Amino acid sequence: MLDDNSAPNGKRISLNPSNCVHCKTCDIEDPYQIITWVPPEGGGGPNYDGM
Ligand code: SF4
């Protein structure tokens, strides 16, 4: 959470999508169920070799 005076509560969430490994844990474990996770790359998601 970062300080942001323009946000209603003075904070905003900051994500770094480049570190995402598309595990979907954030969606599954979201206690408020407000995350709607969709696979990147046109819907197919990443194609990891060797996993
Ligand atoms: S899918 Fe969610 S929990 Fe998994 S790496 Fe990406 S942002 Fe993190």
Report pLDDT digits (tens) over 24-50: 898 999 999 988 887 776 766 667 777
For the chain, how many structural domains are there in total?
1
Q: How far is the CA of 5 from the centre of ligand 1 (A)?
A: 27
pLDDT at 51: 63
Number of the ligand 1 atom closest to the C-alpha atom of 22: 1
Number of the ligand 1 atom closest to the C-alpha atom of 37: 1
pLDDT at 3: 95
Domain membership of residue 16 (yes or no) is yes
Range of the domain at 13: 2-36
The residue whose CA is least distant from atom 7 of ligand 1 is 20
**Which has more confidence, 50 or 9?**
9
How sure is the predictor about 6, in pLDDT bands with cuts at 50, 70 and 90? Answer: very high
- Phi, psi (degrees; rounded to nearest 5) at 42: 75, 15
Q: How far is CA 24 from CA 11, 15, 30, 36, 47, in A?
A: 24, 14, 10, 10, 15
Domain membership of residue 45 (yes or no) is no
Report pLDDT digits (tens) over 10-23: 998 887 777 888 88
Q: How far is the CA of 7 from the centre of ligand 1 (A)?
A: 24
